Amino acid sequence: MSRAAQGFEEEDVMTVRDDGAGLSGARVLDGDEVEGVLSGAFYAPPPASRVVKTSHPEKAKPTHYKVICISMYTKDLEHLDELVDQLKSRGVTKANRSALIRVALEQLDLAKVPRGL
């Protein structure tokens, strides 16, 4: 059956598979439908009902610290965690990785740091 006989015009069909493989003869994507979906879903601003507005003003971010990400060897992390566990077992309830690193930085003597690190 020809495309015109099936009710599809050449420019309206986005994909046609007449080769007998898979969805043979199926008109998968109609041009008007594709245009409607793309213009309505992908390129249109979100509806007002989806926009969540909070009545609370945005809180100021703290300036006395920053959250960072650093790489450490797993062996060093295991050692750090062991030290934190030892401090907690001694009653230092607020011991954690960052607190222990801060203490170590305060006690660091740069003259004793090896050149090759």
Element (H, E) at 104: helix 97-107
Give the Cβ contact number of residue 92 at 10 Å: 13
- Predicted confidence at residue 20, as pLDDT, reads 55
State pTM to two decimals.
0.49
Distance in Å from the first CA to the final CA of the chain: 77
Tens of pLDDT along the chain (117 residues)? 555 555 555 555 455 555 555 555 556 777 777 777 777 666 666 666 665 667 778 888 899 999 999 999 999 999 999 999 999 999 999 999 999 999 999 999 999 999 998
Q: Residue 88: CA atoms inside 13 Å, Cβ hemisphere, count?
A: 12
For the chain, the domains span 10-46, 74-111
Residue 84's contacts (CB-CB under 8 Å, 6 or more residues apart) are: 95, 96, 97, 100
